[in-house]
Amino acid sequence: MLRLERRAHPSTLMMFASPLIAAVCMLITGYLLFILLGKDPLHAFWIFFIKPLTTAYGIGEWLLKATPLILCGLGLSIGFRASVWNIGAEGQLTMGAIAAGGVALYFHGVEATWVLPLMVCAGVAGGMAWAAIPAFLRTRFHTNEILVSLMLVYVAQLFLGYLVQGPWRDPDGFNFPQTKMFTDAEMLPLLVDGLRTNLAFVIALLLVAVSWFFSHKMFAGFRMQVSGLAPAAARYAGFSEKLNVWLALLIGGGMAGFAGMAEVAGPIGQLQPTISPGYGFAAIIVAFVGRLHPLGVLLASLLMSLLYLGGETAQMNLGLPSAVTGLFQGLLLFYLLAADIFITFRLKSHSRPMEQVRPVDALLPEELI
């Protein structure tokens, strides 16, 4: 009989291997799924994972879609490390887009260089403000931030719907629920002509480095990590719990808000009822698959972005439903959580060999004895 047994030390190998194992398991499931749907699995794989990256345009799209995932994923992973469960990045992204869009509409036609930076500030501030609600309610009234941040996603989306169908609707837009198109001065500059990848991707890469510096080099980042790993130890050390919650939510909200700004001032170019295919939720998966580490988040974002892109290509070329993307994303996280077990545990058969035994002096958890 097999059973789980705690390892004497967490396995570093598994820490790196488990995202890969999860990705492989996801691919195997995908293989079976494609067979089930009556597609040639290898061809489908090619369409899904390779074809999108065979053109420069495709690579541009890949990085473009990775950008909001990197931004939201970085912010969430800083929060999750601190055990602050902000799952409302989608709402914060929406509010960031609304705030940035509001600035763009207010200064519509003002062809000045300061408009775009102002939009960035507004986007960050919008996301932060939305995240400040759960932060305030948690620190002041002990209200669970999971539920509040999630409820605010629906509120933000309805608010966006209200704006684009009501006060902010483009009067010349044939009654479509959308705002005016932003002017060039209100759009993020493109990196390469002909591709839609814009400056936000570069900023996202910079923020990967900044996040790493914050989490691994700064005492403030260490403080948040301790708060997440052992709240009692954080209290004992005198780290403020309120500060922890505020920082975690504001950082997450700010990054998500910027992601929203980058969407509307990038590929979309206006406000619409829907501005994100669930980037804020997918970023939760990104954060976990990326091991809550900035570099991991970058890699996980690229993988998740490929899933979005592959889903679209597969829909066009194979007639597969685009919902396959969501399915793959969910599966990926499940497999990761399962594979993660083997970081701290290993499978053992019930008959035990005698190696690995250390003298009593170095024993493990004392409650065992």
Partner 1 sequence: MSVEQLIPIFASTVAAATPLAYAAFGELVTERSGVLNLGVEGMMLVGAVAGFAVAFHTGSLGLGFAAGMFSGVALALIFAVLTLSLQTNQVATGLALTLFGVGLSAFAGRDYVGVTLGGLQPLTIPLLSDIPFFGPLLFHFDILVYGSIVALFALQWFFGRSRWGLVLRAVGESPASAHAIGYSVIGIRYMAVLFGGAMSGLAGAYLSLAITPLWVEGMTAGRGWIALALVVFGTWKPMRVLLGAYLFGGVTILQFYGQGMGIHIASQLLSMLPYLVTIFVLVLISRNPKTILLNQPMSLGQSYYPHS
Partner 2 sequence: MNIQLSHPRLELRGITKIYPSVVANEKVDLIVYPGEIHAVLGENGAGKSTLMKIIYGVTRPDAGEMLWENREVHIESPAEARRMGIGMVFQHFSLFETLTVAENISLALDTPMASSELAQRISAVSEEYGLPIDPHRLVHSMSVGERQRVEIVRCLLNRPRLLIMDEPTSVLTPQAVLKLFETLRRLAAEGCSILYISHKLDEIQALCDSATVLRSGCVTGTTSPKQETRESLARMMIGKDLPHCQMDTRTPGEVRLKINQLSLATVDPFGTHLQNIDLEVRSGEIVGIAGISGNGQKELLAALSGEQPAQQSDTTHISGTAAGKLNPAQRRKLGLRFVPEERLGRGAVPSLSLGLNALITGSDSSMVKRGLIDHSSVRVFAQAVIKRFNVKCGGDKALASSLSGGNLQKFIVGREIMFAPKMMIVAQPTWGVDIGAAQLIRQALIELRNQGVAVLVVSEELEELFMICDRIAVIADGRLSPVVAAVETSVAQIGLWMSGEFTQDNSELAHA
Backbone phi and psi for residue 181, each to the nearest 5 degrees, phi listed first: -70, 145
Least Cβ distance, residue 299 to partner 1 (angstroms) = 19
Least Cβ distance, residue 182 to partner 2 (angstroms) = 39
Residues that bind partner 2 (CB under 8 A): 5-10, 217-220, 222, 226, 229-230, 232-233, 235-240, 352, 354, 356-366, 368-369
Residues that bind partner 1 (CB under 8 A): 4, 85, 87, 133, 137, 141-144, 146-148, 150-152, 154-155, 158-159, 161-162, 165-166, 281-282, 284-285, 288, 321, 323-331, 333-334, 337-338, 340-341, 345, 367-368
Q: What is the Cα gyration radius of the chain?
A: 23
Name which of partner 1, partner 2, none residue 303 binds, using a CB cut-off of 5 to 8 Å depending on partner kind.
none
Least Cβ distance, residue 315 to partner 1 (angstroms) = 11
Say how far apart CA 248 and CA 214 lie, in whole Å.
12
Q: Which phi-psi region, left, alpha or beta, contains residue 269 (left: φ > 0; alpha: ψ -120 to 50)?
A: left
Among candidate residues 43, 27, 3, 46, the one with its CA nearest the CA of residue 310: 46
Residue reference for tokens 């629906």: 154
Q: Residue 24 or 363: which CB sits closer to partner 2? A: 363
> Angle at CA 134, nearest 5°, toward 91 and 290?
60
130 near 88, Cβ under 8 Å? yes
Name which of partner 2, partner 1, none residue 35 binds, using a CB cut-off of 5 to 8 Å depending on partner kind.
none
- Tokens representing residue 258 in the block: 């910027």
Q: Residue 43 or 242: which CB sits closer to partner 2? A: 242
Say how far apart CA 54 and CA 117 lie, in whole Å.
34
Name which of partner 1, partner 2, none residue 318 binds, using a CB cut-off of 5 to 8 Å depending on partner kind.
none
Q: Residue 258 or 281: which CB sits closer to partner 1? A: 281
Say how far apart CA 121 and CA 136 lie, in whole Å.
21
206 near 216, Cβ under 8 Å? no
Among candidate residues 38, 127, 135, 10, the one with its CA nearest the CA of residue 85: 135
Q: Which DSSP category does 198 fall into? A: B
Q: Residue 10 or 330: which CB sits closer to partner 1? A: 330
Name which of partner 1, partner 2, none residue 1 binds, using a CB cut-off of 5 to 8 Å depending on partner kind.
none
Name which of partner 1, partner 2, none residue 288 binds, using a CB cut-off of 5 to 8 Å depending on partner kind.
partner 1
Least Cβ distance, residue 369 to partner 2 (angstroms) = 5
Q: Which residues pair with 348 in a beta bridge?
A: 3
Name which of partner 2, partner 1, none residue 161 binds, using a CB cut-off of 5 to 8 Å depending on partner kind.
partner 1
Q: Residue 146 or 205: which CB sits closer to partner 1? A: 146
Name which of partner 1, partner 2, none residue 321 binds, using a CB cut-off of 5 to 8 Å depending on partner kind.
partner 1
